[in-house]
Amino acid sequence: MEELEQLFTCRQCGFCCHGETTVSLDAADQQRMVDYLQLPRDEVARRYWRVSGSVVQMRIVDHHCIFYNNGCSVYYGRPWRCAQWPLVPALLLDEANYQAISESCPGITKELSYHHFCSILKRVLDRKSSREEHR
Ligand code: SF4
Ligand code: SF4
């Protein structure tokens, strides 16, 4: 089993796409979404984004991200924070973070000790950042 799968398998529950706000989109996220949707940027902003000053988020419809439709409808154009979730570096900071995130995401493996979980996650994140450095 891959190390990533030892830590997490998405259960497609959609919990992380629900709420009254979404992650924010940085400039690269915005461009990726525009490219993926193949629409003019202004139209993407008007139809899908909630812009407040310099903060760009996705619109909320019926208490979930506008792109949620029994799964992510912009999967390959989704923001990096969505792609990273739930294996975020904050999990490594302390066990309370792990407990909070783990309780909100049924996909996180609960069988490992926190120490074991962190040792695997650290390797997964190190490999990911090394791949990004070499791009
Ligand atoms: S909360 Fe976790 S298991 Fe549910 S959809 Fe989000 S990432 Fe997948
Ligand atoms: S972009 Fe996709 S993964 Fe991110 S919150 Fe919206 S529906 Fe969920």
Per-residue pLDDT of 6-49, as tens digits, reads 999 999 999 999 999 999 999 999 999 999 999 999 999 999 99
Banded pLDDT at 133 (limits 50, 70, 90) = confident
**Is the Cβ atom of 68 under 6 angstroms away from ligand 2?**
yes
CA of 66 to the centre of ligand 2 (A): 8
CA of 105 to the centre of ligand 2 (A): 14
Give the burial class of 57: count Cβ atoms within 10 A of its Cβ; 0-12 exposed, 13-18 middle, 19 or more buried.
middle
- Which residues on adjacent β-strands are paired with residue 56? 51
d(CA 93, CA 38): 39
Q: Which residues line ligand 1 (CB under 6 A)?
A: 10-16, 85-86, 105-107
Q: Which residue's CA is the nearest one to ligand 2's atom 4? A: 82
Mean pLDDT across the stretch 59-75?
97
Three-state SS for 5? helix
Mean pLDDT across the stretch 93-119?
95
pLDDT score, position 1? 72
Domain that holds residue 87: 3-133
Q: Tokens 């309370």 belong to which residue?
A: 96
Q: Tokens 């900071």 belong to which residue?
A: 93
d(CA 12, CA 38): 26
Which ligand places an atom closest to the C-alpha of 19?
Answer: 2
* Overall domain count for the chain: 1
* CB of 113 closer than 8 Å to CB of 129: no
pLDDT score, position 131? 79
Predicted TM-score of the model (pTM):
0.90
